[in-house]
C-alpha cells in the first residue's frame, strides 16, 4: 500500500484513544460521561511560566534554537538534576526534545536494530511498546504483578537478559501502576546490570515530583552505570505543561549525539518559546510542586479507599504519579442485567462506561491484564462522583 509503510502498519490505534473515542461518542449521545482515561494534570501552567514565554516571544526569541536545546536551558536542567536527583550532569550529556516521548523515540531510533531486545516490565506505559515496535525492536515483556508492588525484581531481570538485550526500560514512579522503586530496589537491579555490559537503561522519571515517598533517580543509585544510562524527564506532568511539548534526556555524550542527529531530521528540536517557558519553570519558584503533590496525595487516598470498598475490586496504594491500577479479576464471571458475561478487563471497562458513564482504560493495554487504570488527575468532585458510579455499576452485576 502506498499510504502505509510497513512500519506505520504495525502501529495500532491505542486503547487509550479507543476508550476516549467511545467516551466521546457516548457524550455526544447526551450521556454525562466522566473520563478518567488520560494522564494529564488538571492544573494550569503556572503564570510566571506563561509570562516568560510571552516575554521571550515579544523579545524576538523566535528563531531556530540549537537542535539539542538552548545552552541556558540545558544549564538549568543540569542544576535541576543536581537539586532534585542528586547528580550533576555535563551540558554535553543533555538534550532537549519536544516532550519526553520524543526523547524515548530518539533513543530507540538511534540504537535499536531489528531483533534487538528491550526488556519491558509490565504494566508499562503503552507508548514504550509502540515506539519499540516502530523501531523494529523486540519487546521482552516481564509481568510484574501487584504481589511485587508492580516492580521488576533482580531475579526476573537476570532471567530476561539475553545476548540480544539492548535496553531495560524502567519507569519510576510508573504509569499506569504508580509504583515507585526505592534506592535499594534500584541498587539491586544495578547489581544485575553490572554483569551484563551490553544492557543499557532508560529510566523515565517524568513523575518524580509527584511522589508520596522519597524519590531516587537511577543515576543517583548507580552512578557507575552513567555511561549506559539515559534519564528521561520533562515539564509536562510536574509543571502542568503537556501542551508545550518539552522534555529532556540525560545520558552519555555519544548517545546524546546520536539522538540529536535523529532529532535533527525529525523536528529540529523543541520550540524556542517552550524552551523559554521551561527555563522559567525550572529556575522560578518551586513551591507549587509540593502543593500540587499534596493535592494529588489527597485524591489518591480518596480513590484508593473508595475502590477498595467495592466488592470485586482491590487497589494497591501507589507510591507516585497520578494513577491507580486496581485488580478487577473479582468481577470476572459475573453477568450484566442485559445478560452479558464479564470475562476480562476490557469487558469491565466497557460495562462501566455503558452502565456507569465512567471511562477507564483496560489493563491489557499496559501489558498486564486483569486490571484497569484510573487517572486521578481530575477534580475532587468528579472523582467522588466517578467512584460512586463505579460502585453502583459493579453492585448491579449478578
Question: Any alpha helices (H) in the chain, and if so which ranges?
Answer: 6-9, 15-28, 47-58, 71-85, 100-111, 126-134, 154-160, 183-193, 218-221, 253-264, 272-283, 287-308, 345-356, 380-395
* 373 contacts ligand PLP (rule: CB under 6 A): no
Residues 137-196 that bind ligand PLP (CB under 6 A): 171, 175
Please, which residue, 278 or 397, has the CB nearer to ligand PLP?
278
Q: Which three cell numbers stand for residue 19?
A: 476508550
* 100 contacts ligand PLP (rule: CB under 6 A): yes
Q: Which three cell numbers stand for residue 202?
A: 532508560
Give the binding range for ligand PLP (CB under 6 A) out of 1-9, 214-222, 234-242, 380-388. 234-242
* 69 contacts ligand PLP (rule: CB under 6 A): no
- C-alpha to C-alpha distance for 295 and 280, rounded to whole angstroms: 23
* 236 contacts ligand PLP (rule: CB under 6 A): yes
* 99 contacts ligand PLP (rule: CB under 6 A): yes
- CA angle at residue 42 from 313 to 383, to 5 degrees? 30
Q: Which of 247, 249, 326, 356 is close enough to bind ligand PLP by CB under 6 A?
A: 247
Give the binding range for ligand PLP (CB under 6 A) out of 28-36, 98-106, 262-270, 282-290. 98-106
Please, which residue, 127 or 283, has the CB nearer to ligand PLP?
127
Residue 156: C-alpha distances to residues 2, 114, 153, 257, 316 (Å): 42, 24, 5, 32, 21
Helix (H) or strand (E) holding 180: none
- Closest CA relative to residue 358, chosen from 328, 333, 385: 385
Q: How far is the CB of 146 from ligand PLP (least distance, A)?
A: 19
- Closest CA relative to residue 230, chosen from 265, 202, 258: 202
* 209 contacts ligand PLP (rule: CB under 6 A): no
Please, which residue, 321 or 393, has the CB nearer to ligand PLP?
321
* 238 contacts ligand PLP (rule: CB under 6 A): no
* 275 contacts ligand PLP (rule: CB under 6 A): no
Strands 94-97 and 117-122, how do they pair?
unpaired
The closest residue (CB) to ligand PLP is: 99
Q: How far is the CB of 273 from ligand PLP (least distance, A)?
A: 16
Helix (H) or strand (E) holding 249: strand 247-250
Please, which residue, 306 or 360, has the CB nearer to ligand PLP?
360
Please give the distance of CA 29 from its chain centroid, rounded to a whole number: 31
* 101 contacts ligand PLP (rule: CB under 6 A): yes
* 325 contacts ligand PLP (rule: CB under 6 A): no
Judged by CB under 6 A, the number of residues near ligand PLP is 13
Residues 102-131 vs ligand PLP: string with x where CB under 6 A? -----------------------x------
Q: Which of 118, 152, 160, 206 is close enough to bind ligand PLP by CB under 6 A?
A: 206
**Partner residues linked to 143 by β-bridges:** 122
- C-alpha to C-alpha distance for 340 and 318, rounded to whole angstroms: 32
Residues 24-63 vs ligand PLP: string with x where CB under 6 A? ---------------x------------------------
- CA angle at residue 125 from 152 to 271, to 5 degrees? 130
Q: Which of 121, 178, 234, 269 is close enough to bind ligand PLP by CB under 6 A?
A: 234
**On the CB side of 56, how many CA atoms lie within 13 Å of its CA?**
20
Strands 372-375 and 361-362, how do they pair?
antiparallel
Instruction: Give the binding site for ligand PLP (CB under 6 A).
Output: 39, 99-101, 125, 171, 175, 204, 206, 234, 236, 242, 247
Amino acid at each position: 500500500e502506498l499510504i502505509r509503510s510497513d512500519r506505520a502498519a504495525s502501529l495500532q490505534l491505542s486503547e487509550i484513544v479507543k476508550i476516549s473515542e467511545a467516551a466521546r461518542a457516548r457524550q455526544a449521545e447526551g450521556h454525562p460521561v466522566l473520563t478518567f482515561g488520560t494522564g494529564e494534570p488538571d492544573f494550569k501552567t503556572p503564570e510566571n511560566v506563561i509570562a516568560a514565554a510571552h516575554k521571550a516571544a515579544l523579545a524576538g526569541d523566535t528563531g531556530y534554537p540549537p537542535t539539542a536545546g538552548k545552552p541556558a536551558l540545558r544549564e538549568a536542567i543540569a542544576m535541576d538534576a543536581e537539586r532534585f536527583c542528586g547528580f550533576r550532569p555535563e551540558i554535553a550529556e543533555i538534550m532537549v526534545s519536544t516532550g519526553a516521548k520524543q526523547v524515548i523515540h530518539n533513543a530507540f531510533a538511534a540504537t535499536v536494530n531489528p531483533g534487538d531486545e528491550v526488556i519491558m516490565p509490565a504494566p508499562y506505559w503503552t507508548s514504550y511498546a509502540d515506539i519499540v515496535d516502530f523501531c523494529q525492536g523486540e519487546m521482552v515483556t516481564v509481568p510484574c504483578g501487584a504481589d511485587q508492588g508492580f516492580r521488576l525484581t533482580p531475579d526476573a531481570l537476570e532471567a530476561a537478559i539475553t545476548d540480544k538485550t539492548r535496553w531495560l526500560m524502567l519507569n519510576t514512579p510508573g504509569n499506569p501502576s504508580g509504583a515507585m522503586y526505592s534506592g535499594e530496589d534500584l541498587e539491586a537491579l544495578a547489581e544485575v546490570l553490572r554483569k551484563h555490559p551490553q544492557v543499557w537503561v532508560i529510566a523515565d522519571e517524568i513523575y518524580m515530583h509527584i511522589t508520596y515517598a522519597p524519590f531516587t533517580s537511577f543515576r543517583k543509585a548507580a552512578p557507575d552505570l552513567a555511561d549506559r544510562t539515559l534519564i528521561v524527564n520533562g515539564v509536562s506532568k510536574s509543571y502542568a505543561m503537556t501542551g508545550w511539548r518539552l522534555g529532556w534526556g540525560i545520558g552519555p555524550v555519544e548517545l546524546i549525539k546520536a539522538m540529536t542527529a535523529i532529532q535533527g531530521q525529525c523536528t529540529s528540536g523543541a520550540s524556542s518559546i517552550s524552551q523559554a517557558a521551561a527555563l522559567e519553570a525550572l529556575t522560578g519558584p518551586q513551591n507549587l510542586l509540593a502543593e500540587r503533590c499534596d493535592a494529588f496525595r489527597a485524591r489518591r487516598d480518596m480513590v484508593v479507599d473508595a475502590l477498595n470498598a467495592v466488592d470485586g475490586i482491590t487497589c494497591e496504594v501507589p507510591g507516585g504519579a497520578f494513577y491507580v491500577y486496581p485488580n478487577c479479576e473479582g468481577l470476572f464471571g459475573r453477568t450484566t442485567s442485559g445478560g452479558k458475561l464479564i470475562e476480562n478487563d476490557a469487558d469491565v471497562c466497557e460495562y462501566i462506561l455503558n452502565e456507569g458513564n465512567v471511562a477507564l482504560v483496560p489493563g491489557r493495554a499496559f501489558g498486564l491484564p486483569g486490571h484497569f487504570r484510573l487517572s486521578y488527575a481530575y477534580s475532587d468532585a468528579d472523582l467522588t462522583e466517578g467512584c460512586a458510579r463505579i460502585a453502583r455499576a459493579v453492585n448491579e452485576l449478578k
